[in-house]
Amino acid sequence: MTDDTTWLDATAQADLVRRGDITPSELVAAAVERIEKLNPELNAVIHRQFDQAVKAARSQAVGKGPFPGVPLLLKDILAHEAGQPYHCGMRVLKDANWVEPSDSWLVERFRAAGFITLGRTNTPEMASTVTTESFAYGPTSNPWDPTRSAGGSSGGSAAAVASGMVAVAHGNDMGGSIRVPAANCGLVGLKPTRARTTLGPDFGEYFGPTTHQHVLTRSVRDSAAVLDAIAGPGVGDPFTALPSARAWAAECGVEPGRLRIGYRTALPDGAQPDPEVVTAVEATARLLEALGHDVSAVELQPLDEPTLGEAIPIAFSAWIARDLERWGQRLGRPIAPDELEPMNGFLAEMGGAITSVQYQAALEALQAWSRRMAAVWAGGVDIVVLPVTPTPPVLLGEMAPDAKDPFGLITDLVRMVTFTMPFNVTGQPAVSLPVHATASGLPVGVQLVGASHREDVLIRVASQLEQARPWAHRHPPQA
């Protein structure tokens, strides 16, 4: 975008369009220019729809939503468009030149909000890990340091927003896939309450109860306003979240009152994360205390139980196996596990051997564990502050699909999602905020977790932190 609009958030861009100070065509042209300039190094955008976007920008329809003509990028999984490639990071779909025949309902909602899609962003194969380095499309680099990972599985979207290609990009979160790349790239990454947005028409659930859809942004107000635009059940959805009392965008800047806030840094084995991560969490706790909240360490005992470590591998491998089978049905031929990257192939084979009884037992264990975790909030805590990941952004290659044997990669992955996966299981809303940076300038996000259905509380506190410790002025050197 032009120097005047590159670092404006989507709300500000939309306001310019409404005032007639800029046209959707100009916004699209500027975003295209940024992508063409930066993408060769970052590899964030893997499918381009520039001609279609230019035509859409000239349409009168873009003026009807809250984000008229604002450019958007879609993660290449769980947000498909009719006539566009859709590969989910899988070589087998790339080789088949797979194109989706229809829109997902979320894409329809983005379009109704006025967004104009410019293309699709890179993601790891089957969105199954926290770094974006698939065999199909290669690694996405972190704009703050191209030798580092942008995170995953919404890594392409995060790199695109952090580098100024667009102000907002779609993401989804099955175990940390919005929050991890947001933390790695210095963004706001809100995972809403489970079922706050629809997975229709394809799914009622995806990867069991763990999948949540939303966006990555540079401002809290953008995250809140986009949620206003896309939230709500689809026809026939099996579950829905409780409605909000008012628009989430209206919560920005609202005094949250004196809240009870807990914090924790320790991993389940008693070890501490990287010192920069500990510093980030503890500094945020002190800032919240200075802002008038009651802040204290919290045990969060369910995090130390073995339940997740026992049940998630059973459930996760079954979900990978089912995804492989479903894509084989769509392609019209079976897909062998060895057509996947090694870790996913290993999980698919493992999942194929799991019985229905074992799978149901794992789900019941996760549901019981979720009640124990949610009891922490029901027992008198409004928000818990946690790390997002135990380390700052990892070097590219450290967790690449061929970096280790599958079991070694799974071990690393489990550790990386220690603080994020639990809240995919419980379905609670959680947000990563870019409140800290290392001495070398790498972003380190801090996670705030709220009670189920209480995005309003999270947004108020996130907005309070954004005002107290602004981050809008921080931009990657590569951008």
**What pLDDT is recorded for position 62?**
77
**Could you give the CA distance from residue 415 to residue 395 in angstroms, rounded to a whole number?**
16
What would the pLDDT profile of 372-384 be if each residue is shown by its tens digit?
A: 999 999 999 999 9
Scanning 291-405, the segments in alpha helix (DSSP H) are 307-331, 342-352, 356-378
Q: What is the pLDDT of residues 334-363, one digit of tens each?
A: 999 999 999 999 999 999 999 999 999 999
**Intervals of the chain under pLDDT 70:** 1-3, 478
d(CA 118, CA 102): 17
Length of the chain in residues, anyone?
A: 479
CA distances to 44, 66, 152, 231 from 196, in Å? 27, 19, 21, 6
Q: How far apart are CA 114 and CA 50, in angstroms?
A: 16
**75 carries an active-site annotation:** yes
Measured from the Cβ of residue 76, the count of other Cβ atoms closer than 10 Å reads 31
- Burial label for 469, CB within 10 Å (0-12, 13-18, 19+), is middle
> pTM (2 decimals)?
0.98
Are the beta carbons of 119 and 73 closer than 8 angstroms?
yes
Q: State the catalytic residue, choosing from 75, 128, 134, 463.
A: 75
Strands 145-149 and 443-450 come out as unpaired
Longest dimension (CA), the chain: 61
Q: Return the pLDDT at 3.
A: 55
Nearest to 184 by CA among 216, 207, 220: 216
Q: Is residue 177 flagged as an active site residue?
A: yes
141, 153, 223, 452: the catalytic one is: 153
Q: Would you say 28 and 191 are in contact if contact means Cβ atoms under 8 Å apart?
A: no
In the prediction, which pLDDT does 1 show?
Answer: 43
The answer to whether residue 94 is catalytic is: no
Tokens, residue 93: 């779909």
The one catalytic residue among 141, 154, 163, 177: 177
Let me know: does 118 contact 53? Beta carbons within 8 Å.
Answer: yes
User: In whole angstroms, what is the distance from residue 193 CA to residue 75 CA?
Assistant: 20
Predicted local distance difference test score (pLDDT) of residue 195: 98
